Amino acid sequence: MPTEQTSPTTIPACVDPRIQPGIRVVSFPKSGRTWLRVMLDDLQIRLVYTHADSGHLKRHHFSECGPLEEVFTGHQIILLIRDPRDVTVSGYFHSKKRIKIFDGNLSDFIRNERHGISKVLAFNELAVRSLCYASRYLVLRYEDLRARPINLLNQIMRFVGFPLCTKQTINKIVERYAFENMQRLEQKGYFRDEYGFLLGSKTPQDLDSLKVRRGKVGGYRDDMNELDLQYCNQLMAVSDYVQQFNYLESNKDA
């Protein structure tokens, strides 16, 4: 379930007057924020989105994650998290096929300390610990957003103080941006004017190069071998946030 709290500077002034600069969506890359952003933008809820220097192009070692106090302090934070195994697999295809900065295989990527699961875990552990610096916060699990998008979008609207939409309006947006539709729209260049390369591909015929690749909950099982899965699960087993947000529940296949 999403977690909302109130607790006891800063991105530069936004050039887009529609954006609410006091509310930040923070996530590790490939946690599902593009899908969330497109739906919220369609609802005219324009927020600030940041990976807080955790992006794959930065190539920072996992030990260099943070600090995040400056990102969180005095701001309303929406922290988006996702199963770290799915994040890692999606990050691999993004790094290899889309931004082309990684030449190894998936097993290499998983164990890479500048891109792989150890970095996903380190960033999210730090982000969860840093929530105490936010004026208010809402933690969203990508898996819950996929399972109950209408309920979660309504919760976000309440959090940001936006008037609630009718169920019909939200239903239309959820249907419009279902993953299969998002892929087709991205391949056709539908998002290019609004989002540029953020939602577009130079090789749209290669589905693995798309920004909207799969979005499947638990899709890591289709790509990881047994040794990869064991490696990930061992690291996750000692992660506080993984246990707090119930990602160990899917370790039954370990």
Q: Which domains does the chain have, with CATH numbers?
A: 3-239 (3.40.50.300)
The reported pTM is 0.84
Residues of the chain with pLDDT under 70: 1-19, 193, 196-215, 250-254
Cα separation of 40 and 34, whole Å?
10
**What pLDDT is stored for residue 205 in this prediction?**
59
**What pLDDT is stored for residue 213 in this prediction?**
58
Q: Tell me the one-letter amino acid at 120.
A: V
**What pLDDT is stored for residue 127 in this prediction?**
97
**What pLDDT is stored for residue 15 in this prediction?**
45
Q: Which residues pair with 66 in a beta bridge?
A: none
Taking Cα atoms as reference points, which of 236, 43, 250, 63 lies closest to residue 157?
43
**What pLDDT is stored for residue 203 in this prediction?**
63
Range list of β-strands (E), the chain: 3-6, 19-27, 46-50, 76-81, 136-141
